[in-house]
Structure 1
């Protein structure tokens, strides 16, 4: 099995560098162009199935890529970005000014701290890992395109490479980039990062 992990194209929130979670932002003009370029780069690549986060920015990305494949796009809640709750779509400056106490609690335990009305990193990691386990169990051989978000791609890589959630910060994943992982006999190999 091979997974082609694609991060959605740019949104205005990405440009502002906010903590963009479940806020349902659409691609901006630059984001659409990024994904069209990505679609052309993927042309001729064998893809057996496409999975996407249901959030608009991911679905728009998946639909543009799918223009060349005409496959059924399967949505999964497991591929949604982390829910940042009351912090969603705030910049670092806004977040630390408006929620200094909560931010301090997050810093002291970023893995388990559950943001009000949102998720902990561990919650989102477990959700992404459950999606991957299900795909590995039922997907069979093949090449699967997974259109999702920065945090989810980082969590999937940390999970598949047995590095633990703490290592998820070690991966750079730009908008409309490609990351590839080959999986054989339960062993995962990272073959491309942020391409």
Structure 2
């Protein structure tokens, strides 16, 4: 196991969603993906039940099929009135960043099926409860993020994407996923081009921190 020379804080602050810099040509060894998932399995899960499953898709035809569903979802999202407000901010400082995000979302939407490895963390549950589901998804999302961190430490890029869930039933049918297993996120995984990552612009802490009361 060879990892990059990163401090814990560097790893946590430079693990970014990678879209335009994913290397679509270089194969990713399955053993490397397995290492990342092994680490992800150390994440917390509710009552230590560990009701997670991990789909790793490398088959070109299946990747292409998932990529087409994702392309449709991205097109619908970018074409909706709500997306404009989310991606193209009126805030003069954030507008350029959000414009780049919109461009990279569109870019990945056209190329998801070409990414060498697609990873879909899933959660097994008899039914999805009504109302607040934070406790339920809290049993898989920390593990999914741990996977992204482990991948970054090994020179791999990932992107946190969920637009494919608009076609979750179709993708589950494609992959033979049981009815009681639900997809949480789609993580395209590839080596990345370039070697520089830095912390992303974020809101000042004092604008969002509340101590003892709102």
Taking structure 2 as the reference length, the TM-score comes to 0.27
Highest Rg: 1 or 2? 2
What is the TM-score normalised by the length of structure 1? 0.29
Q: Which has the higher contact order (CA 8 A, sep 6+)?
A: 2
Q: Which has the higher strand share?
A: 1
